[in-house]
A and B are shown apart, each in its own frame.
Chain A
């Protein structure tokens, strides 16, 4: 079956512009995560959605970052007034079971590479 998909695969933008990154999780997965990965670094947790519960936004680095998950499926990560330090790969993952952090495998998408000039 289809895995997690993300779009666009690459995004180049100018400093100060807003960007939207999209994630299509695996159908039926209740948990969805966003991570940021800078070059050569680990995964930085951003936000976590679990079913209809309020999302865990504890990882968002500033109020320029926000995310939505509509209808318990597709999620959009929005970065307003982008800065050069926002340049990174943004990874989305989904998991079949609910629960903070999940106790099951996270299925990752290929990521969106964001470059802010």
Chain B
């Protein structure tokens, strides 16, 4: 069956450090993923997406890596800031499945 799961439920980093949030998937039929960020009391918001014909995509301070061989993707946040504290979800955009999310806490 399909699953979209996060390796770690929580991640705590020091302000200025880099953060890496991981996600594994099992459904090879949909290699299109979106990372969402959900701040407290708000709905999830799009951060970055990646399609199956790519293995890396960069945005502003964020990079998503996709390894189709091992069905794994990661979200890297450079120079993490307090405003990055949130729950991060990887979403298989071909399905309606969301993982439980990783809670990122940035310590000042």
A interface residues (Cβ-Cβ under 8 A, vs B): 4, 33, 35, 41-43, 45, 48, 56, 59, 91, 93, 100-111
Given contacts A42-B89, A109-B43, contact A101 B100 (CB under 8 A): no
- Give Cα distance in the complex from A91 to B96, angstroms: 13
Question: Taking CB as reference atom, which chain B residue is nearest A45?
Answer: B96
18 A–B contacts from the bound complex (CB under 8 Å): A4-B43, A33-B96, A35-B98, A42-B89, A42-B99, A43-B44, A45-B96, A59-B96, A93-B43, A103-B32, A105-B49, A106-B34, A106-B44, A106-B91, A108-B45, A110-B42, A110-B43, A111-B42
Q: Flag whether B68 is at the interface (Cβ < 8 A).
A: no
Decide yes or no: A103 and B94 within 8 Å by CB, A43-B89, A91-B43, A110-B43 being known contacts: yes
Contacts A42-B100, A43-B98; is A102 near B93 (CB within 8 Å)?
Answer: yes
Q: Which residue of A lies closest to B6 (CB)?
A: A42
Please tell me which one of the listed residues B42, B89, B94, B99 contacts residue A101 in the complex, with CB atoms under 8 A apart: B94
A107 vs B42: C-alpha distance in the bound complex, in angstroms?
12
Who on chain B is nearest to A33 by CB? B96
Chain B 19-50: CB-based contact to A (< 8 A → 1; otherwise 0):
00000000000101010100001111110010
- A4 neighbours in B (Cβ, 8 Å): 43
Chain B hits for A91, CB < 8 A: 43-44
B69 to chain A minimum Cβ distance, whole angstroms, is: 22
The minimal Cβ–Cβ distance linking B67 to chain A, given in whole angstroms, is 20
CB distance from A71 to the nearest CB of B (A): 23
Residue-by-residue, is B60-98 near A (CB-CB < 8 Å gives 1, otherwise 0)? 000000000000000000000000000001011111111
Which chain A residue has the least Cβ–Cβ distance from B43?
Answer: A108
List, in ascending order, chain A residues with CB within 8 A of B34's CB.
105-106
CB-nearest residue of chain A relative to B93?
Answer: A103
Complexed CA–CA distance, A4 and B45 (Å) = 12
Inside 8 A of B44's CB, which chain A residues have their CB? 43, 91, 106, 108
Is B42 in contact with A45, judged by CB distance below 8 angstroms? no
